């Protein structure tokens, strides 16, 4: 048995997720395997997530460890008591470590100990970028270990959601913000209002909103949105762009971010429809990846109307299949993480959203969210620069200007350009961002910078066609609203009518077609 340790380590070292099919079968004699995991650089034990399957392809989730769907997490060491047979595994630690994968065979009546090292290939926090997941439904008792296993720094936990309120029969904690070491934080009072018009996520509240008695369409989500704004630090996130009430929420001026990298995008596949949101044109956005493209189309249209709302990310682990942190938003906070500063950076748009590629962007040495200004009649040349780290194959980097791809740069060319992308010239107000999309055929795996904004003169770019898109959307929502009680219907419709008036004014004030 003394040789199995070295063979097992070698198998793991060569079986990365970027080399599918390269795993080797290894005989491990024993029904009990103890696996210890360390960080390659520090040599210290680290928490990880493991996807372990038997030879029938069924997930194995040992008792005593936090688990969900097809995976479990453990803190540096796990003892697996397994029936004889063949097993496959993948082991991950967030997005900044290589995936380790391999095969082994369990034979009866013996045991073994194995050591796995996790290889970090980029350290985002050393470049000032700190990762958070804004949609977590996992048990509070598991959050500390989940954050460590996913190398996640900010994790608001949803403890009230529609008719479920974990605090209904218990006293609120005196300390709602819980540190994990000195660079990770989770908050115990995030909430979600998810009903007929879609979902809003609420963060940094001192108490839950009283939504447990709400019906599917009554009262309007706008009522709770207005109430939330009584609290200074409250941050409200539109969970997905295609929810029916999204244009109404934008019209309210009370939302802070929007889920561009959302839970329809999953580790092993896509929710390839829009649930009860506004459906896409499947002719324009076909197939598995269509929902991801539709999500971005809506977001780009929103930017085209002059609204400056940053993208966010959430995984919905605990409800949908994702691990915690699969979809994550990196916020630039500098050398040290401060929880309140992280949310302030999110509101400023100093962000990158991702479920794969890791981008660290600068445009003319500025972070995302920056507004470049120039006098009327002048022009601006913006020079994107990008640090990029990958686990998945990406063929192109794309520079998006005013909703259209203006530069598509092959990875080989990007490397020769030293991380500098082609310059983008603006003679009128507008915006730009940089996007990387992987070649994964099963799910929309991508990364996007937050937008940069350009003001030539004293006005923003406002597209008439984009504003009309949202005006039509609001009218369609008004027509489809179903409430039999005329008083309730009238109360809900007042917010949509106000939104219709708002978008009509945006159309009337447009300055480009």
pLDDT of 346-389, one tens digit each? 999 999 999 999 999 999 999 999 999 999 999 999 999 999 99
Q: Mean pLDDT, to the nearest integer, of 330-340?
A: 97
How far, in Å, are 94, 114, 375 from residue 111 at the CA level? 29, 10, 74
Quick: pLDDT tens for 160-192. 999 999 999 999 999 999 999 989 999 999 999
Which element (helix H / strand E) includes 91?
Answer: strand 85-92
321: pLDDT strictly greater than 50: yes
Cα separation, 229 vs 255, whole angstroms: 10
475: pLDDT strictly greater than 90: yes
Q: Mean pLDDT, to the nearest integer, of 257-265?
A: 98
Give the percent of the chain with pLDDT over 70.
94
25: pLDDT strictly greater than 90: no
Give the percent of the chain with pLDDT over 90.
89
Nearest residue to 131 (alpha-carbon basis) of 95, 107, 86, 180: 95
pLDDT value of residue 29: 47
Q: Helix crossing, 464-480 with 486-508: angle to 10°?
A: 170
Q: Residue 21 — pLDDT band, cuts 50, 70, 90?
A: very low
14: pLDDT strictly greater than 50: no
61: pLDDT strictly greater than 60: yes
For 276, residues 6+ apart whose C-beta sits below 8 A from its C-beta are: 196, 198, 244
Quick: pLDDT tens for 406-418. 999 999 999 899 9
Q: Mean pLDDT, to the nearest integer, of 227-239?
A: 96
pLDDT value of residue 443: 97
How far, in Å, are 248, 250, 302, 491, 501 from residue 498 at the CA level? 8, 11, 18, 12, 5
pLDDT value of residue 13: 24
Q: Mean pLDDT, to the nearest integer, of 468-493?
A: 97
Nearest residue to 114 (alpha-carbon basis) of 23, 13, 22: 13
Q: Residue 92 — pLDDT band, cuts 50, 70, 90?
A: very high
Q: Mean pLDDT, to the nearest integer, of 60-85?
A: 96
114: pLDDT strictly greater than 90: no
User: How much is the pTM?
Assistant: 0.94
pLDDT value of residue 31: 79
Q: Residue 30 — pLDDT band, cuts 50, 70, 90?
A: low
pLDDT value of residue 347: 98
Cα separation, 230 vs 163, whole angstroms: 22
Q: Residue 103 — pLDDT band, cuts 50, 70, 90?
A: confident
Q: Residue 19 — pLDDT band, cuts 50, 70, 90?
A: very low
Cα separation, 5 vs 111, whole angstroms: 12
Q: Mean pLDDT, to the nearest integer, of 285-299?
A: 97
Q: Mean pLDDT, to the nearest integer, of 275-298?
A: 97
pLDDT value of residue 7: 22
Give CA 380 to chain center in angstroms. Answer: 32
Cis before 219 (ω within 30): yes
Quick: pLDDT tens for 430-455. 999 999 999 999 999 999 999 999 99
Q: What average pLDDT does the chain have?
A: 93
Hey, what's the torsion of the CAs at 367, 370, 376, 380, to 10 degrees? 10
And the tokens for 383? 């020079």
110: pLDDT strictly greater than 70: no
């Amino acid at each position: 048995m003394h040789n199995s340790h070295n063979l097992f380590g070698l198998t793991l070292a060569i079986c990365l997720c970027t080399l599918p099919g390269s795993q080797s079968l290894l005989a491990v004699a024993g029904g009990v395997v103890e696996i210890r995991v360390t960080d390659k650089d520090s040599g210290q034990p680290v928490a990880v997530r493991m996807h372990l399957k038997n030879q029938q392809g069924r997930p194995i989730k040992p008792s005593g460890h936090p688990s969900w769907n097809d995976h479990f997490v453990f803190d540096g060491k796990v003892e697996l008591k397994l029936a004889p047979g063949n097993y496959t595994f993948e082991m991950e630690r967030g997005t900044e470590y290589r995936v380790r994968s391999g095969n082994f065979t369990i034979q009866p009546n013996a045991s073994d100990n194995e050591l796995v090292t996790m290889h970090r290939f980029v350290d985002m926090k050393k470049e000032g970028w700190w990762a958070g997941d804004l949609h977590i439904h996992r048990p509070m008792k598991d959050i500390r270990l989940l954050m460590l296993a996913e190398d996640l720094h900010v994790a608001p936990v949803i403890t009230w959601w529609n008719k479920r309120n974990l605090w209904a029969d218990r006293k609120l904690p005196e300390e709602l913000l819980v540190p994990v070491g000195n660079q990770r934080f989770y908050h115990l009072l995030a909430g979600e209002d998810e009903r007929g018009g879609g979902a809003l996520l609420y963060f940094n509240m001192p108490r839950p909103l009283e939504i447990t008695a709400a019906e599917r369409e009554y009262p309007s989500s706008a009522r709770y949105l207005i109430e939330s704004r009584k609290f200074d630090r409250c941050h409200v996130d539109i969970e997905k762009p295609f929810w029916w009430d999204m244009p109404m929420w934008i019209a309210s001026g009370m939302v802070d971010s929007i889920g561009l990298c959302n839970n329809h995008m999953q580790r092993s596949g896509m929710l390839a429809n829009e649930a009860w949101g506004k459906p896409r044109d499947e002719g324009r956005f076909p197939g598995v990846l269509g929902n991801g493209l539709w999500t971005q189309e809506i977001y780009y249209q929103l930017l085209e109307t002059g609204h400056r709302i940053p993208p966010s990310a959430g995984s919905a682990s605990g409800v949908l299949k994702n691990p915690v942190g699969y979809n994550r938003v990196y916020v630039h906070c500098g050398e040290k993480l401060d929880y309140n500063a992280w949310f302030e950076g999110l509101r400023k748009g100093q962000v990158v959203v991702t479920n794969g590629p890791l981008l660290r962007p600068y445009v003319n040495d500025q972070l995302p969210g920056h507004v470049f200004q120039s006098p009327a009649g002048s022009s601006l040349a913006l020079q994107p620069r990008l640090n990029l780290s990958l686990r998945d194959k990406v063929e192109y980097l794309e520079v998006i200007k005013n909703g259209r791809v203006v530069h598509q740069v092959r990875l080989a060319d990007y490397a020769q350009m030293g991380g500098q992308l082609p310059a983008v010239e603006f003679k009128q107000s507008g915006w730009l961002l940089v996007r990387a999309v992987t070649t994964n055929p099963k799910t929309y795996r991508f990364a996007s910078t937050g937008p940069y904004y350009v003001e030539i003169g004293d006005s923003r770019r406002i597209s008439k066609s984009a504003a009309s898109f949202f005006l039509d959307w609001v009218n369609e929502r008004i027509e489809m609203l179903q409430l039999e009680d005329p008083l309730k219907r009238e109360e809900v419709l007042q917010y949509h009518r106000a939104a219709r008036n708002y978008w009509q004014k945006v159309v009337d004030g447009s300055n480009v077609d």
